[in-house]
Amino acid sequence: MKIIARPPAFQYKKNHLLADSVPLAYLAERYGTPLYVYSASTIRDRYRTFENAFKRFPHTVCYSVKANSNLSLLKMLAKLGSGFDVVSGGELERVLHVSRKAAEKVVFSGVGKTAAEIDAALKANILIFNVESESELDLLAERAAKIKKKARIALRINPDVFADTHPYISTGLREHKFGVALSDVGDLYTRAAARKYLDVAGVSCHIGSQITTVEPFAKAMLRIAELVRALAANGHNIRYVDAGGGLGISYKSEDAEADNFEAKSSAYAHALHDSLGGLKVHLLLEPGRSIVAPAGALLSRVVVTKQNGKKRFVIVDAAMNDLLRPSLYGAYHEIVPVQLNQVLQMTKATSVVDVVGPVCETGDFFARDRELPHLHEGDLVAILDAGAYGMALSSNYNTRPRAAEVMVDGSGVTVVRKRETMKDLFRQET
């Protein structure tokens, strides 16, 4: 079996796995484990690659805050010119905290916006609301009228397009909670246009996440283009098409070797543009995972190994409360030793193991029946591609303080979130 690290964020040099040019063993010693480690240079490179793929088309990249909402990461993206896709009032507050000006490039999505969240977004003067139901349309019109401020809107359309991904992150079929059915769209646009404080400006569509081919996106955009033409024929001035996000990454090393993010981004851009068929609209794009996932790793230390009959377990100090994706989705993450000599020894000595955490749940695992080099108590491992939906989905289950986060940039290291303490956990309780 061959294990490789994932360049350029994490590479072996001499005997050590590095984040940029900083050994992960040093980070573990200095900041403890479990520890989220992000490569700033990789995030910048991937953002610029994605942005460049659309350079010939009018567009705004709106990073999906739910993927990773760390303030330092958001501030870095804002400086690069990124807009933001938010799905809650809390995410909007994070964006405003790093840059009030960034509100001009904020897209507010989500099926259950409250009156308070809508008010905050109106006052911040965001770019556009993605409206997902008739009730939300009425509420938004009411709140906008109350403060006499026009709200720019797009209706999120459910195009009934199948995306080959996990059912929990597929969002474009008629049985999903998201968006408005195509059959109901015409009446809702007419109703919206009649509201004094609503500006009917766009059409939105998001079919799911971790989609690794461009065909589903192209198919969805063909349906959106047809709708835009029909709306224009009825007198609506549609200036924006929100294509959503969902572009996937390769989580397995054997796939990652052939994965070319520049080529994938270019193919994605051309698929969307071609499907829109020359419409003069401004594209809104919501990448998240594809920008930050490969730039992050969860660093963990082996606590104990044990044998139960024929089953061998490697128990690490990270758990499902730190990285939920394997438990929630059955998601695959590459797990690599921090010391290269252990990788090189795999031709001589490997074990098929379950890598699990200490949380009191059988579902607390990172890998099942995975072939890995022999690991011993005290060894360090890196769980790769954890920059997206890692810390964002973390919790305090089993009264476990959440991990610290560090950002590496070349040889520099910045703590971008301190490790929680028990005092932090108890502070809000009486």
287 in Cβ contact with 50 (< 8 Å) = yes
3-state SS class at 269: helix
Buried b (16+ CB within 10 A) or exposed e, 142-178: ebbeeeeeebbbbbbbbbbbebebeeebbbbbeeeeb
Task: Determine which one of 233, 258, 349, 360 is catalytic.
Answer: 360
192 in Cβ contact with 238 (< 8 Å) = no
Alpha-carbon distance 334 to 297, whole Å?
10
Q: Which residues contact 115 (CB under 8 A, 6 or more apart)?
A: 139, 143
What is 277-293 written as a DSSP string?
A: TT---EEEE---HHHHG
Q: Give the pair of three-digit tokens for residue 382.
A: 């890196």
3-state SS class at 61: strand
Q: Give the pair of three-digit tokens for residue 36.
A: 């989220």
Angle, helix 40-53 to helix 71-79, in steps of 10 degrees: 40
For residue 360, indicate whether it is catalytic. Answer: yes
The residues assigned a catalytic role are: 360
